[in-house]
Chain A
């Protein structure tokens, strides 16, 4: 059974800092790994999807890496801004022939001005 863990559970940084969010998964036979952002009381916004054949994906100030052998993914946020404050979720998509995501509990990020 796939389990996804995110560390830290919460993170508070001043504006402008670069930061790294960590995600680990127990079953390396994953198909995709997806990072999401969730604002309080809102739905999920997909940030980046890394396919199993890829090592990283980049979108603007965000960079996500995937190391299947060690069961880890990281989300790097450059030059953080107060608008980045949200909960960040990673989700692993195990190889079943179709796509069902197993989520971590998230990292709650607060970027102070």
Chain B
């Protein structure tokens, strides 16, 4: 039973380019969360999605960042016109549900984005 998959594992972009990060949740999980870990900082919540719906994007920067979780396929975190400050590890997590033990989140290996 594969865990949460993220790709690419490492991504290098020049300033101004676009970055697309993909996340496939665990089998049977329909709740997806994105977190960002900046150097020397803790993980910060960005966005929570269910299939075809953004439930909470309160942690996502208002500009340049967007997320989706289509009916078919992986969840995508998209960063337009990247800047050096976007360099970080981006983690995706999934859960079976939102109550009790079903709310336990399982994390992927992360995508390490470097902006040059």
Residue in A41, A46, A100, A104 whose beta carbon sits within 8 Å of that of B107 in the complex: A46
Collect the chain B residues with CB atoms within 8 Å of residue A32's CB. 103-104
**In the complex where A43-B91, A89-B42 touch, is A101 in contact with B105 (Cβ < 8 A)?**
yes
Q: Is there an interface contact between B98 and A99, defined as CB atoms closer than 8 Å?
A: yes
Collect the chain A residues with CB atoms within 8 Å of residue B110's CB. 42-43
- B54 interface contact, C-beta 8 A: no
- B22 interface contact, C-beta 8 A: no
The count of chain A contact residues (Cβ–Cβ below 8 Å) is 27
Residue in A41, A45, A100, A103 whose beta carbon sits within 8 Å of that of B48 in the complex: A100
Collect the chain A residues with CB atoms within 8 Å of residue B48's CB. 98-100
Collect the chain B residues with CB atoms within 8 Å of residue A101's CB. 33, 35, 43, 45, 93, 105
Q: Is there an interface contact between A98 and B43, defined as CB atoms closer than 8 Å?
A: no
Residue in A42, A99, A102, A106 whose beta carbon sits within 8 Å of that of B105 in the complex: A99
Collect the chain A residues with CB atoms within 8 Å of residue B101's CB. 49, 51
Q: Is there an interface contact between B43 and A100, defined as CB atoms closer than 8 Å?
A: no
**In the complex where A44-B107, A51-B101, A97-B98 touch, is A102 in contact with B56 (Cβ < 8 A)?**
no
**In the complex where A42-B109, A43-B110, A44-B91 touch, is A102 in contact with B45 (Cβ < 8 A)?**
yes
Collect the chain A residues with CB atoms within 8 Å of residue B98's CB. 97-99
- A31 interface contact, C-beta 8 A: yes
Q: Is there an interface contact between B43 and A103, defined as CB atoms closer than 8 Å?
A: yes
- B41 interface contact, C-beta 8 A: yes
Residue in B35, B59, B91, B103 whose beta carbon sits within 8 Å of that of A93 in the complex: B103
> 18 A-B pairs, CB-CB below 8 angstroms?
A4-B42, A32-B103, A34-B104, A34-B105, A43-B6, A43-B108, A43-B110, A44-B91, A46-B105, A46-B106, A49-B101, A97-B98, A98-B31, A101-B43, A101-B45, A101-B93, A103-B43, A105-B41
Residues of B within 8 A of A (CB): 4, 6, 31, 33, 35, 41-45, 48, 55-56, 59, 91, 93, 95, 98, 100-101, 103-110, 112
